[in-house]
């Protein structure tokens, strides 16, 4: 039996395009139907704004206007556009409710979840909590609650976060991104061979998977 196609994804919970890209990848796989190859997906850490405080006091518009040096009106137009694209992917973004925070602990929790086979479930839960529910994903108490919702043990999750023992794994992911030359997320690496940057349309992901599956068949023939 052929091994699954490995898909490594660098992303940040606070990245709106990463959630959209996740949906586009899932749609691209689903579109192949019975012809879809088996895949193994792993998420890797990337902090878009590592200097963000855990408790940021401003709105999304404040955050982006300050960080990107953009006029408020331009930021509002950009958020409206992203919200529309997210809606087309079946996602309900609520930027007015988003609580900006440092995402380091969320990344540590994703590594903990990977150890327990629940990384994909936690990734989806964190994105939804951040972009649609306005949950605070920077505080340990809030993260433990979300961990429990996907089936992780509360005490073990809290110990992992309070000890910071997955901090080196997060930094290793970020270092690997640098080695690959990744300067923005989402970034998808297929079978350590092909890189896809950004929240590309579902058809792009379908094409890449079909191409890799075809190459594997050719090599095996």
Separation between Cα atoms, residue 34 and residue 45, nearest integer Å: 31
CATH number for domain 5-220, candidates 3.40.30.10, 3.40.50.12500, 3.30.9.90, 3.20.20.150? 3.40.30.10
Q: Domain limits of the chain? A: 5-220
Look up residue 150 and give its two tokens.
């996907």
pLDDT given for residue 221 in this prediction: 66
Separation between Cα atoms, residue 16 and residue 8, nearest integer Å: 18
**Which tens digit of pLDDT belongs to each residue from 98-129?**
999 999 999 999 999 999 999 999 999 999 99
Predicted confidence (pLDDT) at residue 95 exceeds the cutoff of 60: yes
Closest by alpha carbon to 104, among 180, 38, 183, 14? 14
DSSP string, 178-205: HHHT--SS-EEEETTTEEEESS--HHHH
- The structure's pTM equals 0.96
**Which tens digit of pLDDT belongs to each residue from 132-156?**
999 999 999 999 999 999 999 999 9
Q: How confident is the model at residue 180 (pLDDT cuts 50, 70, 90)?
A: very high
Cα 125 to the center of its chain, rounded Å: 11
Mean pLDDT for the stretch of residues 65-83? 94
């Amino acid at each position: 039996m052929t091994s699954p196609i490995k898909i490594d994804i660098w992303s940040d919970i606070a990245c709106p395009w990463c959630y959209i890209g996740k949906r586009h990848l899932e749609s691209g796989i689903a579109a192949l139907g019975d012809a879809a190859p088996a895949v193994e997906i792993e998420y890797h850490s990337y902090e878009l704004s590592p200097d963000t405080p855990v408790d940021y006091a401003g709105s999304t518009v404040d955050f982006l206007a300050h960080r990107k040096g953009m006029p408020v009106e331009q930021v509002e137009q950009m958020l409206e556009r992203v919200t529309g694209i997210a809606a087309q992917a079946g996602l309900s973004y609520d930027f007015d409710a988003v609580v900006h925070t440092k995402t380091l602990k969320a990344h540590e929790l994703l590594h903990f979840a990977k150890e327990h086979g629940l990384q994909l479930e936690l990734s989806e839960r964190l994105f939804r909590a951040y972009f649609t529910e306005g949950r605070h994903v920077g505080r340990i108490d809030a993260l433990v609650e979300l961990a429990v919702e996907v089936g992780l043990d509360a005490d073990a999750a809290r110990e992992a976060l309070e000890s910071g023992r997955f901090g080196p794994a997060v930094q290793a992911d970020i270092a690997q991104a640098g080695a690959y030359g990744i300067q923005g997320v989402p970034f998808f690496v297929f079978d350590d061979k092909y890189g896809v940057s950004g929240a590309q349309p579902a058809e792009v992901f379908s094409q890449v998977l079909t191409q890799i599956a075809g190459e594997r068949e050719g090599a095996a023939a």
